[in-house]
Amino acid sequence: MNRNTTQLDVAEDLLGLLRATTTEPRTDVQLEALTLAVAADLPVLLWGEPGIGKTAALTQLAEALDLPLTTVIASVHEPSDFAGLPIVGDDPARQGVPMAPPDWAVRLVRAGKGLLFLDELSTAAPAVQAALLRVVLERRIGALQLPPGVRIVAAANPRSSAADGWELSAPLANRFVHLQWAHEQDVVVRGLGGTWPRATLPQLEPQRLAESVDFARRAVCGLLAARAALVHQMPSSETRRGGAWPSPRSWDMTLRLIAFATAAGASREVLSLLVRGTVGDGPGFELLASLDRMDLPDPELLLADPAAAELPQRGDLRQAVLDSVVAAVRARPERARWDAAWDLLVRALETGAPDLVVVPATTLASLRREDWDVPAAIEQLAGAVTISRDADQAAARVKATARVGR
């Protein structure tokens, strides 16, 4: 050790080695959902227990995206820090009183881009939350407009684990995409070993942009046209109002996220996190189910060529397709269509679980006209339908016996 080297210098060298980490491409659904929402220029709120790694994730995200990180602890600021401080000029009667922005906002404007991290949001007093409304939605701080290159991400702890925590106000909560941030053991272990997942912006396919927007609009508008009650549904409890819930504003955010996820080819898990984090679990699951049905084949095309039909592998989707085929025959009952539906049920039996054809086969049989001959396909289905019914009846008897024996 050099004579001029102190123990603090050695300690600093050791700290430098501990800080030295790297990143690697790795599937991380949470991180992918976060980066997609950031790419879509939507404010994101990360919910998680203290020490879960929310701040570390934001620091790594800013470095990976080459965005200067500006951290603002919401709970230690006054409302005027976000609404702006009044500055009286030479002639306020003629010029008015401008609202001067804080220095961190000025730095963001000068940089032209950045990641504004609003930390400890759930410990901010209601007056501070009210002042943040304009920051989050309009990107304005006092008289200053943040540039388009600035993205906003916030973090909060649940009220039960926050120091002097408050519930988020409904107007502020409805401006965010809410993501539950939880630790994954393998990610933490590998990260502590020096390698963390790499945050990268989603790769949007230029040729899919128009198609993605059309798909997102059809998905959201189709659901809301059928379920008018979902357009605006503010929860009754204070706690739930501080999370994700459906409103025209949050449906607009959802539409944008679906378009971005479609253009990026994001997984269903990522889309599920984003949709439920915008309009809540109930409406979110309804929308996801609606998205699944949008990809289902047209029953008329299936009836036109049953031999070439490709049925979904997922049981619930396959059941929906078979039910739609039977409904199409019911709507326009013709002998050729009835026969084609039987051929389709045989194909479903050969390529999937037999119990899925029981209800469609029973319903289709009830549509037979007196002058229609019984097709040969029914014989192929008869055994499977009988076996499936017997199995259901046996299961029901076992269940009934178990209840009696209690």
Mean pLDDT computed over 121-133: 87
Task: With beta carbons less than 8 A apart as the criterion, state whether 114 and 64 touch.
Answer: no
d(CA 60, CA 403): 56
For position 90, what pLDDT does the model report? 62
φ and ψ at residue 141, rounded to 5 degrees: -130, 105
Q: What residues pair up with 155 in beta bridges, in sequence order?
A: 46
289 pLDDT band, cuts 50/70/90, is confident
Among 217-221, 307-311, 317-321, 351-355, whose mean pLDDT is lowest?
Answer: 351-355
Task: With beta carbons less than 8 A apart as the criterion, state whether 39 and 262 touch.
Answer: no
Q: Which two tokens stand for residue 83?
A: 């609404």
SS3 234: coil
d(CA 50, CA 161): 7
Cα 223–227–229 angle (5° rounding)?
A: 130
Closest C-alpha among 324, 379, 322, 387 to residue 354? 387
SS3 196: strand
d(CA 221, CA 255): 9
> For 69, which DSSP code?
E
Give me the residue spans of the domains in the chain: 25-86+98-197, 206-294, 299-405
Q: Tell me the CATH architecture of domain 25-86+98-197.
A: 3-Layer(aba) Sandwich (3.40)
Task: With beta carbons less than 8 A apart as the criterion, state whether 42 and 85 touch.
Answer: no
Q: What residues pair up with 117 in beta bridges, in sequence order?
A: 71, 153
Please spell the DSSP secondary structure of 19-32, one letter per residue. Answer: H--EEE----HHHH
Task: With beta carbons less than 8 A apart as the criterion, state whether 353 and 315 touch.
Answer: yes
Task: With beta carbons less than 8 A apart as the criterion, state whether 56 and 69 touch.
Answer: no
pLDDT tens readout for residues 371-400 = 888 777 676 676 655 544 544 454 455 455
162 pLDDT band, cuts 50/70/90, is low
pTM for this structure? 0.76
